[in-house]
Every structure is written in structure tokens, then in C-alpha cells.
Structure 1
Amino acid sequence: MSPRHVVPGFSWHRPMGPREPAEEHRTATVLELFFDLCFVTAVAQAAAALEHEVTAGHTGHGVLGYALVFFAIWWAWMGFTWFASAYDTDDVPYRLLTLVQIAGALAVAAGARDALEHLDFTVITWGYVVMRLAGVAQWLRAAAGDPERRTTCLRYAAGILVVQLGWLGRLALPDDAGLWSFLVLAAAELAVPAWAERHAATTWHPHHIAERYGLFTLIVLGESITAAVATLRGLLDEHALGDLLPVGVGGLLTVFSLWWLYFLRTEPKRLGSLAAALRWGYGHYAVFASAAAVGAGFALAAEHAGHGEHSEAPDLTTAAVFTVPVAVYVLVVRLLQRDPEPPGLLDGLWGAGVLAVLAVTFAPSPVLATGLVLAALVVAVVAVTHRRARAAAVRGGA
């Protein structure tokens, strides 16, 4: 069966055949946008719990819990996004199963704080399993509607189902087995797509995937600003604007620059193969997790500026919770965007920016310094890129 073009519009039921990977004007649907907005609730809860743990002086514990919780959020989002790119039918069963996945995401959000503070993954595990089992049902529908990729779809369904049994079994393990069992099961989750797609690749749409990742990055960055502004607003009732201005200006410059750097390159040509797609998709764990952590660090820095005497976190730790995620974000975005070519001037600029952000961890006003560093990086990168584009145009016209 050849891939098909799906006419937009709601239907009671459609056969779940593959979408056309070269379909024109393929954009995110309103259901996908609703999915993202609900999913970002879990992101916000994880970031807020990270901030709480650092404020209480449990930085290492909080960072570990955050990394584990964010894996569940990110991987469930990934599973839905890539499946929808290949098999979105927008019929009643598809919508209902997607709403079940959203309900699971809200359960993950509800359990995020317990997972971070106490490493109690009971609620978050059940929410995650609900999401993934709804995904199994979708893959079984796809197997029935796409004979050419039936084996691929059944591999996805079987692999996901087996791993979910593992997650439920993990709840019965003793506490000292929690971390290693998590890592084993996470590795199994990551292995399922590579195993399934080896038989016959699903027909995901490169432009659609690039847009979906960009939109979720936008939403996470927006949530970061929202969380920080809420903290700043609460502090303004007790402090003069001048006390909080450096944090506010630096935080906004940082988030604006992170947005600009991500959207310097939006073309999906780097998604032309399975290996490239896996690198792109898996690499965004660091992009999403660091972007959300920037919001937590932004809010923590604002709270520290106003109520530093009530925080258990040292000044250096408070600064690092902001600067380190920023540096990780910038580094990973560059690695995902760069073309396969020898290192050059742009690599040097991005690398210098990462090192400068890490260095300002020790500055008197690290948030403001980070914002200024990133603003300078954006100006430099844009100038070099523009100069190269003009030079290429001149050569092309010669």
C-alpha cells in the first residue's frame, strides 16, 4: 500500500494507512497543539519541583530526580509525535486514544513532585504506562491499516508493551535497585524505535517533525518565562524594582537569545535518514530538559535575589542552576544544527559562548551576565551567517 494524503477534517472512522511523507502543507493539528499544551503542565511541575529541591539544599537529589522525571515526559511526547507524523487519521478512535494519553500526562504532572523529592515513582509510572499503552493501541490500528509496514507496527506495539510491564514490575523492586532498573528500562525504550524501524521505516514527515519540535521548544521556553515572571511579580510587593531588575533583564535576554539561536536553522533536511532522525529526536531530550531547567534557574535566581536569606542553596549553586542548563542548551542546539563540515568560525563562536556562560557562574550578577553573553553570541552568529550568505549570493551570480 502506498502512502496516502489525508484530507483535513474530522471523520468518525478512517482506515489507519500511512501518511504521505512528501505531503504538501503538512502542519501541526489542533489536537497536537492541545496535546503539547497539556504536556507542558508536566514540564512545569518538574521544573517547579527542581527549584524547590535546590532551594531546600538538595541540589544533587533534585537534579537526578529531574533528569529521570523528564525522561518520562520527553519519551512519551516523542512516541506520540512520531506516530502522529506517520499515521494521524483524526478520527474518533484516534482522538479518544490521544485524550487518554493526555490524561496520562496529567497524572505524570501530578506525580512529578513526589518523584523528585522522594524518588517515589508510583503515580508517575502509572501515568506513563497509561500513555504508552494508548500508544500500543494506536500501533495495533496502524498494523491493521498498513500491510506493508505491519511488521514494523507490531514490533513497536510488542516492544512498548514489554517495556511497560517492566516499568510496572520496577515498582516492586527495593529502593536500592531503583536507579539501575530505571536506566535499563530507559535504554530498552530507546532501543524500540531502532529495532522496529529496521524492518521498514514509517512514513513520518520531515517538515512536520521539524515544526513539532520547534513548537514544543517554543512552549517550553514560554513556560520558563511564565514561571519566572510569576516569581518576580510576587517579589515586587516586597522589594524595589532596582533590586530585581538585573535578574529580570538578564533572564529575558537569555530566553530571547535561546529562542533566536534555536530558530537560526529550521529546515528539516537533516532528517533525511533514520540515523539522522534518531540523533535529532534523542538529542532534543537535552534541549527540552535544559530549556525547562532554565526557567527553574531563572525563578530560583529571582527568589534568591529577594529572599536569599531563606534559601539553603549557596550563591554559586543558585548561579549554576541557571548557567549550566543554558550552556547545555546552546551546545546541543549547535550540535544538532551544524552541517557535516570541518570546524570553522561559527563553531568557535558557539564554543566561546558556551564557555563564557559557564564562566559567568562566578560573576556577581550571573543571570544578567548570561543574558549579555548570549545577546552578543546572537549578534556575532547572525553577522557571520549574513556575511556568508551574501558571499554565496555573489559567487552564485558571478
Structure 2
Amino acid sequence: MNEVSPAIPVSGEDRHATWLELFFDLVAVAGVAQIAHLLHGEPGAADIGLYALLFLAFWSAWIGFTLYGNVAGEGTHTRTVLAAMFGMAVMAAAVPGVHEGEDGQARALALAYVLIRILAGRAWRHRREILVDWPAAQLSLGVIPWIVSLWTLEPVRYWLWALGIALDLWVTFTVSARDVIESRKAHDEREKKHSRSRDTVPPVSVAAPHADHLSERLGLFVIIVLGEGVAQVIEAASDATWDRRLYGLASAAFFLLVALWSLSFRHGYAGVPYLTARSLPARAALPLHCFVTVCLAALAAGLGAATEHLHTLPDTTRWLLCASLAGYFLLTGIAALRRPEGVRRWMLSVVLPCCALPLLLAGFGGGLGTVAVVWLLVAVTLWPTFYESRRARRVEPAARPGA
């Protein structure tokens, strides 16, 4: 394979996920499943915090190589991607041990994460390209706390991991393209000064992601998360008594996941509901995708837990289900801010009730049965589609000639 290939343009030939990329995404299936299991039973605040932390770390490792494959195209180094896959598999396998406080598994997870980030940075340096849309994929500031955590114990270790994720987000939103390019040029000057070789170092260039291909990969990740919801319900139902309650809950869970699929893909872009192509810069759209999948994976875990409690939901499980759906619609509102018209009406008529009603249900729905709670969440999720269809019927007569 060639060491360097030209950047893929934003628009051009039609590209789809390769077999290597699909193989890589299979590791995401294992990782999402392992992390979602952290919310089984009756999770407390510490369990939810660890879930969010590990999901963000796993997503960060995944997106770094997703963007690398997106830009590199046929120039992708297969061995580099396979090495990253092995590291992500180690991270996924270590999740249960981290949850149980095992130091060995926690160090293995941190070491695998560090090596994945180093591999990503090395791959970009070889390409001599700057990915200005996601500088955290190339800058190693957020990796430093993870390295330090290899010599610490819990809970300090977890705080260092959280600091690393926070630094990556800080780099994403504050470091400009000019800063990244100047930093790379300064690094090249130092390398040239200390190197005995007088070979000319090729200049760096700015990498532009292939938008359609990236949208497909992001959408595949959302499909993986929704599929995990189906898997959670199936796994729990296999050990439950098949009666009327189970039939009602399974039907409600299926309709809920289908409604979320419809919002994310039929009314969204890259798996993010009500996001449109190029309506947000990549630095905003990628974190939005990350947080949407965090909410969907938590909702999937909640559905699995609900299947295990068919009579009455524990308070923690009810809050997990309802708060996850409320967070999903809050992020929907952020994506819809770039709607061409009617933003204020959309916020008041759709986003506000879809955020408030699940939270009210979480706070005051303790007397409701499990099946009733999930069906009410289905009704909330269907409301945006119903609102849009009513609005379209009202606008259609006015748009006819002569109206």
C-alpha cells in the first residue's frame, strides 16, 4: 500500500463503507453491548457516570479511525486499522472488570486506549495531513491523563480518565485550524533540526472529509446502538415468563425503537434527528452524534432492565428510561436550531413537551406499570412525526396554485 494518498474531496465519487470498515464496526457492536450492561439491574449515580465515561472513551477511539479511513480511502493501512480493532476489543473485554474494580482490567483498558490514540496520531503524521474538523484525533493532550492513570488507583483513575475526555472536548472546540497547522510546522522544524538527514520534509496539507461516506459510518453506529436495544429485550425475554405483560412490553419496546429509527434516519442525517447535511460544522455535529448515541444506548439498557421487571419498574430504571429519552430530544432541539423556519414554534410545540413529559413521568409515574410507562414513551416519541404530518397537511392547501 502507498504511504500517502491524496485527501478524499467532500464531494466526488460515490463511496460506501468497505469490508474492513464494516469489520471494524463489528467491534463497536461488542463495545456498545459491554458498556450498556453497566446499566443493568438498578444502576446508581456511580454506575451511570462510569457508563458515560467509558462510552465517550470508546466512541473517541472509534471516531478517530473512522475519520482516518474516511480521508485515507484506498490508502488506509490495513495493519494499522486491525491493530486499532484489537485495542478496542481489549477495551470492550475489560469493561466488566473495570465495573467490578479490578485494577488489572482497568490498566488494560487505559493502555489499550492510549495505544489506539497513539496509532491514530502516527497514521495522520505519516499522511502529512491536518484534520482540522476534529483536531483531537491528532493532538495527544487528552491522552496524557490516561497515561498517568496507569499508576493510580480508583477513584483517582476515573477522574483522570474524565479529565482526558474533557481535554479532548476542549481541544475540539477551542483549537483553530491555524493553531493545528502551526503546531505541526513547529514539530517538523524541530524534527528537521535534530535529524541528521537533510531530506526535504514534504509540507502538510488540510484533509477534507468525504461527507457522504462519513454520514454512512455515523449512521451505521446509530444502527448498532438501536440494534443493541433489540438484543437487550431479546436477552431478557428469553429468561422471562411469556405472558400478556411480556407481549405488551415487547411490542412497546419494538415500536419505541422503530420510532427512534424513523426520527434518526427518515427525519435526520447521519443518525442525528432533524440534522441536515452541512447545517452544522463537523466540530459540532460529531459531538452531537456522540451524545445522541450515549442516550440511545442508555435507553436500550433501560428497555432490557424493564423486561426483567414486568410488573413495576424500579425508580432507577424508570429514571434511566425517561431521562435518556429526554436527553435525546434535547439534543434533537440543538440539531433543529438550524431549521430554515419555524424554529421557535418547533421548540415550544415539539422539543419542550418531548423533554418535559418523560421527566414528569420519571418523577410521578411510580404507580404505573412497566408496560404503561413504555407505551407512554412510545406516544412521546411519535409526537414529532404526528406534529410534522399535521403541519404538512395545513401547508399543502396553501401551496397549491390559486389557493
Q: TM-score range by the shorter chain?
A: 0.7 to 0.9
**Are the equivalent residues in 2 in contact too, given 1:69–1:116 (CA < 8 A)?**
no
CA distance in 2, matches of 1:118, 1:234: 28
The answer for the alignment partner of 1:78 in structure 2 is 63
**Are the equivalent residues in 2 in contact too, given 1:42–1:73 (CA < 8 A)?**
yes
Matched, 1:39 2:28: yes
State the shift of 1:251 in Å.
1.1
State the shift of 1:35 in Å.
1.4
Matched, 1:172 2:136: no
CA distance in 2, matches of 1:266, 1:391: 28
Change (3 A) 1:96 1:180: same
Matched, 1:138 2:123: yes
> 1:175 corresponds to which letter in structure 2?
E
State the shift of 1:72 in Å.
0.8
Change (3 A) 1:26 1:359: same
Change (3 A) 1:350 1:96: same
> 2:343 corresponds to which letter in structure 1?
P
Q: How is 1:46-57 mapped onto 2 (pairs within 5 angstroms)?
A: 46-51=35-40, 55=41, 57=42
Matched, 1:345 2:350: no
The answer for the alignment partner of 1:311 in structure 2 is none
The answer for the alignment partner of 1:13 in structure 2 is 2
- Name which of structure 1's ranges 190-199 and 76-85 shifts more when overlaid on structure 2: 190-199
CA distance in 1, matches of 2:138, 2:335: 31
Matched, 1:266 2:269: yes
**Are the equivalent residues in 1 in contact too, given 2:225–2:297 (CA < 8 A)?**
yes
State the shift of 1:89 in Å.
2.6
> What secondary structure sits across from 1:354 in the alignment?
helix
1:367 to 349, 369, 374: 374
2:97 to 114, 118, 122: 114
CA distance in 1, matches of 2:285, 2:138: 24
**Are the equivalent residues in 2 in contact too, given 1:39–1:102 (CA < 8 A)?**
no
- Name which of structure 1's ranges 287-296 and 364-373 shifts more when overlaid on structure 2: 364-373
CA distance in 1, matches of 2:230, 2:34: 14
> What secondary structure sits across from 1:360 in the alignment?
helix
**Are the equivalent residues in 2 in contact too, given 1:62–1:117 (CA < 8 A)?**
no
The answer for the alignment partner of 1:277 in structure 2 is 282
CA distance in 2, matches of 1:19, 1:338: 29
State the shift of 1:373 in Å.
2.6
The one-character-per-residue Cα deviations of 1:345-396 (angstroms, maximum 9, x if unpaired) are: 33222321222222333143311221233234432234325654x468548x
Alignment TM-score, normalising by the size of structure 1: 0.81
Give RMSD over aligned pairs.
2.9
**Are the equivalent residues in 1 in contact too, given 2:111–2:150 (CA < 8 A)?**
no
Question: Which sections of structure 1, spanning at least 5 residues, go unmatched?
Answer: 1-11, 309-313
State the shift of 1:73 in Å.
0.9
Change (3 A) 1:20 1:245: same
**Are the equivalent residues in 1 in contact too, given 2:55–2:294 (CA < 8 A)?**
yes
The answer for the alignment partner of 1:381 in structure 2 is 388
CA distance in 1, matches of 2:45, 2:172: 31
Matched, 1:89 2:74: yes
> 1:109 corresponds to which letter in structure 2?
A
> 1:43 corresponds to which letter in structure 2?
V
> 2:90 corresponds to which letter in structure 1?
A
**Are the equivalent residues in 1 in contact too, given 2:124–2:138 (CA < 8 A)?**
no
Change (3 A) 1:387 1:76: farther
> What secondary structure sits across from 2:309 in the alignment?
helix
CA distance in 2, matches of 1:352, 1:196: 37
**Are the equivalent residues in 1 in contact too, given 2:8–2:209 (CA < 8 A)?**
yes
- Name which of structure 1's ranges 103-112 and 118-127 shifts more when overlaid on structure 2: 118-127
The answer for the alignment partner of 2:328 in structure 1 is 329
The answer for the alignment partner of 2:304 in structure 1 is 299
**Are the equivalent residues in 1 in contact too, given 2:236–2:304 (CA < 8 A)?**
yes
CA distance in 2, matches of 1:386, 1:100: 53
Matched, 1:159 2:139: yes
> What secondary structure sits across from 1:305 in the alignment?
coil
CA distance in 2, matches of 1:300, 1:321: 10
**Are the equivalent residues in 2 in contact too, given 1:225–1:295 (CA < 8 A)?**
yes
Q: How is 1:52-71 mapped onto 2 (pairs within 5 angstroms)?
A: 55=41, 57-71=42-56
- Higher-helix-fraction structure: 1
Alignment TM-score, normalising by the size of structure 2: 0.80
State the shift of 1:342 in Å.
5.8
CA distance in 2, matches of 1:305, 1:294: 16
